Structure 1
Amino acid sequence: MKQQSIDVNALKVQFPLIERLQNEQYVFWVNPKKTTEKQIFEQVSMEMVRDAEKRLQRFSSYIMEVFPLTKFSNGLIESDVIEIPSMKKLIEGRRGFDIPGKLMLKCDHSLPIAGSIKARGGIYEVLSHAEKLAIHAGLLTEQDDYAKINSKAFKDFFSNYKIAVGSTGNLGLSIGIISAQLGFQVTVHMSVEAKEWKKELLREKGVEVIEYASDYSVAVTQGRLLAEQDANCHFIDDENSLDLFLGYAVAALRLENQLRELKIKVDEEHPLFVYLPCGVGGGPGGVAYGIKQIYGEHVHIFFGEPFASPCMLLGMMTGLHDEISVHDIGLSNQTEADGLAVGRPSKFAGTIMESIISGCYTVDDSFLYRSLKGMYEQENIFMEPSAHAGVYGPIELMMQGVDYLQQNQLQNKMDQATHLIWSTGGDLVPRELRQQYLQSDI
């Protein structure tokens, strides 16, 4: 990560939206570099994504044994896609305008094991690393039934190795839970934004938690430095990891099957809009990559970020990616959306997203809480505050996206559109904290 002096005044002349970001106002940024063509990247391919899906399939018998809740999905870590008509009516009533088309929810707040979207990338990278170690040691072949990994011999073997990660919360949870289950020594470097209950849950699982008084970037940097000093330690790098990205991208293959089963068309006359909460960018980036490779010009993907932490919007809009931080433009990076409290984006994800996503938007913390209550009251679904950054997407599109819809000849197709909000976390939130969220007056 490069550090350089940022001339904010010069940037504001070139990118006037920066002033709105500085004033913590709603911003809807349309990506001028998005293309309609499917892109080929040096770093990642759909062949690699399909290989990741096969790896997860190999581990399914092991996952079923150690996490019985996954038996209903045959050991796959997957969530439902559902329609949320009551929430749609509530939004339309509050806003005074219709959201044409269907409003759907991808329920990653209830993903098995870790209860968040991070169960996709985080668990995948740990499993991938474990497989490589075991195969190299002659303990495992790809033809084996991976249920054999659930044994003292494998736990003893993995106990010789370490896993480390820097996290605001959910990634640390997913990696800590699966790594401890396998037998690894695990260290999670937690930034100041991390919720106390997440730290406590990790410690209960036998994970070492190192706390920082600084933000996400510092926790990642320190974790990376410490891991580099130990040859047996594998550092899971949320800012640059290909394995994390691939684990998230597998979601697109599953989504394609789910939409087909629900008889939801995605084509020229039936556009798909996807709204993803965004922190450092790896999770939404992986999902977006996979979906775009499958649906091409017929999908329109937007990332949602809190007022105080619009790092991906800032990095992509200026083209500076990880060379600029929200602190450089005077923002605090302090938000109730802990999973999105990231000041500096992933360059790895951001550069891939340049030709893929349609844009980014910002959302106020107060909306996250209003939406949290509304979703619970209308649909009996609990999602943590971060997840509700996705809910604001279709609202923002209807209010500020008129030009985008016109430029893409979408106005006359919106009645046949599908709006998919990608929920990201919530199932593991303790009951007492849920009540605090639901009663909050923020």
Structure 2
Amino acid sequence: MPASEAPEPEAQPSSAPASTAARGSRPAFDPYDPLGLDDLLSAEDRAVRDTVRRWARDRVLPYVAEWYEAGRLPAIRELARELGAIGALGMPLTGYGCAGASAVQYGLACLELEAADSGIRSLVSVQGSLAMYALHRYGSQEQREQWLPSMAAGEVIGCFGLTEPDHGSDPAGMRTRARRDGSDWVLDGRKMWITNGSVAGVAVVWAQTPDGVRGFVVPTDTPGFSAPEIHHKWSLRASVTSELVLDGVRLPADAVLPGAAGLGGPLSCLNHARYGIVWGAMGAARSCFEAALGYAKEREQFGRPIGGFQLTQAKLADMALELHKGILLAHHLGRRMDEGTLRPEQVSFGKLNNVREAIDICRTARTVLGANGISLEYPVMRHATNLESVLTYEGTVEMHQLVLGKALTGLDAFRG
């Protein structure tokens, strides 16, 4: 990306230590990387990022405004296979055709995907961080071998059924039930707001059983299973969102995920997906910031570019601050995940901060673009409306505030 010209480096004082002078001149200031965060990345990190960025530039950006306006994602199966081909599905998982990438590399991929559109990042997050992660961590060896290779290749799309029409933030109240009938399980219930639902070949569905919440691997061609698509959305329009209907869905005994018992299973999957959102939200924010920066340098009013006015510069400076602080926070959490020290409360910290700041950046960018900010010729309004969904799913603002409040005080306010 282009960098603006910087002033000549200041001359070193004659009294400066030789080691200081030997460091050489400072690099030019880059308005697209003002903190020099690229220096934190390895060559492999950059290669992963650049691969995903090129794919999104070529396969999503030329078409996504049309998809968004039409409220559909017509090429989802083809896109899934292409994402599988570049190793973007189940990236941090090992074996079964998965890339075995680092958490930071996965985060960089999420950032680049959401810079194109939140719906595309959601496709990847639900596939990899929810459905595949649940199978990889909690599934039997047979379940992993049956599903993960084809899911990593994008040949089979997965979905994750936890949220219900009447139970979002409180999954413990779910009404979907699984009962024993001989050696089989029979599932009845409804799930709502399920990304990938109507195009999925397999669903990981969570249900109440006599022994608590359990996860089930449900092939979507099982009798009694249906996934009507949800229409009339004003957010995440370039994404497939569905209801899952389970009417007497009969499954064999080995359909249950053996490693997951209780809410800890689905919540750990959500935590993994939230981590991707911490990065992804900054992708949407970056797209809006760059649109505003470019527009401010070209749009003229009162005989000069609006980027030359103080109020516009103040907006750009504030957007740049929050954008790159958010990326730095995401990078820090990624390193902790790679080291095995990342706590769920820290993921809540990142999700709460980064999505909230991303929305503010998008709204500020819209003001820089003026009336043009509402046009789909620019990405700003599309990202702003998408982020309203991102703000809610995988834990609302209030839920993450309470997670942090409990961690800070040691007092549980969820049911207070």
Same fold per superposition (TM over 0.5): no
TM-score of the superposed pair, with normalisation by structure 2: 0.29
Larger RCO (CA within 8 A; separation ≥ 6):
1
TM-score of the superposed pair, with normalisation by structure 1: 0.27
**Rg comparison, structure with higher value:** 2
